[in-house]
Structure 1
Amino acid sequence: MIDFKKKLISIIIPSYNASDFIDNVLNSVLNQSYLYWECIIINDGSTDGTEEKVNLWIKKDIRFKLVTIRNKGVSSARNEGLKHVRGEYIFFLDSDDLLDKECLNDLIKLTNSDIDIVIGKNASTYGQTKKINKKLRHNKLVNRELSDLDFLELSLREPFDIVVWNKLYSSKFIFSKNLNFIDKILHEDEMWFFETMYYAKNIIFNSKVTYYYNIANYHSITKNYTLKNLKSCIFIINNIYLNYYLKENNAKKKSIIGAYILNLQITTISAFFRFMRFHKCFGFREEGLMMIKKHLKQLNAIEYNQINKKKAKQFEILKLYAIDNPEISYRLIRNLNKNNILKYLENLFLKYKLNLRL
């Protein structure tokens, strides 16, 4: 049998003013049934006693390590953590979440020399607890190695969560591709997810919940959305367009990246108008609309894979109407999944306003 304990896992925890959560998350690490790990806590300039609490854990177990930096944000903290990795595998953990006791053991058992990423199953919780509120999206093809697939295409056909944490990344894979996080933007997970799925050759999904994601401490986009959210999303899409779409020579791969970009544009536009609708916030509405229209005009000539009927319809609406009226395109796309007479009549009215036909 393979001795899994020869495989060191480097756990990276970015931590900013996490005094209320740090003891619980480190306790969930200490209680792992898999013993061969190091835990690198990046104290991102905390001022609430987080550092002092971590130092107590270091005295309990030498596998805990503390690195303190001035406050730069979660991307910089994760990048700093990557500099200190000694393990064969890398695992990201947020300071207000919890691990299942069998998390590392369950994921490490699925590794082999060819696997780039093991993707763990997640569940949301209200508060830092293991009481499950909802199991998050996860691929159905579990406990089997997936290769010879385009994982960007897979993420569009059968969506799974775009998160950094609860994935076991091969250190060789991450460092050979020089992957890191973009500083000073929001939604940094989006770019990391794209790049890891773009480069990965072999991945595997586990079958059990191994990570408990605390949504009670999550500052929801519907509550704290600003122009920086919109600017960050547009920056990420432009980055994918310039550095991957334009440079891709394989026609099929290029069309999938094109579809990925369109999907991100729909997500970005939807988030903007949902916030406007729920919070009746018009302070930056016009500026946001101008940014969206300018972005869409610049990236209008994109070739794309239709993925499936649903995506094809969404992409068609986006390409036809979004430049002229992003809000109406958002509402038409939103209504695609709502088969009732009111939404049918609303769609007719929206198309009448545009004086166009689908």
Structure 2
Amino acid sequence: MALSKKPLISIIIPCYNQEKYLHYTLESVYRQSFQDWECIMVNDGSIDNTEKIIHQWLNKDKRFKYLKKSNGGLSSARNIGIINATGEWIQFLDADDLIAENKLSTVLENQSYDLIVTNFRLFLHSSGQRVSSSNLLGQFRLNFESILYKWDEEFTIPIHCAIFRREIIPLFNETLKAKEDWLFWIQTFLKNPKPIFIDKDLATYRIHDNNMTKDKKLLNDYTIEAVNLIRNLLPESQSNIFTSVVIKRLYNKLLEYQTLNTNLLNSKSYKIGNTLVNVLLKIRKPFT
């Protein structure tokens, strides 16, 4: 088919030291049955063979485009891609994940919507096993309340499950190193998009050692920072409800941690209280 001057879809792939997986990710883009796309590969300061692999694909197909920057993190790489994208729709894809060859053609049957989300399957890299979603997302309503209150507790949406109409998406927060997707989804839904969910496994999320968070303290710090940023986006009444839900969630996690950690089984209960107080102080600080 003849390609339009501006592609209908911009696929944004941030790349940082993913030489092991990048070829397979780009192959999944190349094999799309829908062909009116551009693929923006953003090299975020990789020091492995990422650039060599990128140039192989640049030579193979002119729809692949290349941007290179110093290392600034996943969100900054995605933002560079957004700023340079020319398509009406935005598809994010991390450099170690995959999309089914009919992903774009299937979602574009629903262009009366602003946000189209599909289901996904897991790929366990260590065993090479693909695990069906088993309705991972299909049991949740795709709305603002679910994103706000159930994210990470009951579900998350891998970013490459979705395709976004360009005008509804915000830029990613570049200070957060965790929970940035949660904030992004909330900011997106605050624009009142018209969403639809397609219960088909059209995306594959790869699980391997490098994408597992190891620093729990850092994760908790960024969770608290994300909570404060989200609170500032909400009306006061909803912010108070959100705060109560977060406090209850954190308290339950602390109780679970105490139960599972044998070193804490005989500890005094005030340790949980002190931990909770410290968390609450961090959450409430911006409002004092």
- Hey, what does 2:174 align to over in structure 1? 183
Structure 1: any 5+ residue segments left out of the alignment?
Answer: 247-253, 301-358
SS in 2 for 1:131: strand
Report the more deviating stretch, 7-16 or 78-87.
7-16
Alpha-carbon contact 1:17-1:48 (below 8 Å) kept: yes
- Determine what percentage of the aligned residue pairs are the same residue: 25
Matched residue type, 1:294: L
Question: 1:243, 1:73 → 2: CA distance?
Answer: 24
Alpha-carbon contact 2:7-2:87 (below 8 Å) kept: yes
Structure-2 change in CA distance of 1:60 and 1:271 (3 Å): farther
Question: 2:71, 2:80 → 1: CA distance?
Answer: 12
Measure how far apart 1:270 and its partner are: 5.5
The structure having more radius of gyration, on CA atoms, is: 1
Structure-2 change in CA distance of 1:280 and 1:286 (3 Å): farther
Tell me the TM-score normalized by structure 2: 0.81
Work out which of the residue numbers 232, 235, 240 in structure 2 matches 1:245.
235
- Hey, what does 1:215 align to over in structure 2? 207
> What is the correspondence of 1:269-308 to structure 2 with a 5 Å cutoff?
289=276, 291-295=278-282
Work out which of the residue numbers 232, 253, 263 in structure 1 matches 2:222.
232
Alpha-carbon contact 2:251-2:276 (below 8 Å) kept: no
- Hey, what does 1:132 align to over in structure 2? 131
Structure ranking higher on relative contact order (CA contacts 8 Å, 6+ apart): 2
The reply to whether residue 120 of structure 1 matches residue 118 of structure 2 is yes
Question: 2:243, 2:14 → 1: CA distance?
Answer: 29
Work out which of the residue numbers 160, 165, 178 in structure 2 matches 1:165.
160
- Hey, what does 1:306 align to over in structure 2? none
Matched residue type, 1:161: T
Alpha-carbon contact 1:13-1:39 (below 8 Å) kept: yes
Deviations 1:32-66 (A, max 9, x none): 11111111111110001101111100100011111
Pairs aligned (count): 274
Question: 1:272, 1:47 → 2: CA distance?
Answer: 39
Matched residue type, 2:200: K
Structure 2: any 5+ residue segments left out of the alignment?
Answer: 265-271
Structure-2 change in CA distance of 1:235 and 1:59 (3 Å): same
Measure how far apart 1:218 and its partner are: 5.3
Question: 2:71, 2:258 → 1: CA distance?
Answer: 31
RMSD in angstroms over aligned alpha carbons? 3.5
Question: 2:96, 2:125 → 1: CA distance?
Answer: 8
Matched residue type, 1:49: N
- Hey, what does 1:17 align to over in structure 2? 17
Measure how far apart 1:165 and its partner are: 2.4
Measure how far apart 1:297 and its partner are: 5.4
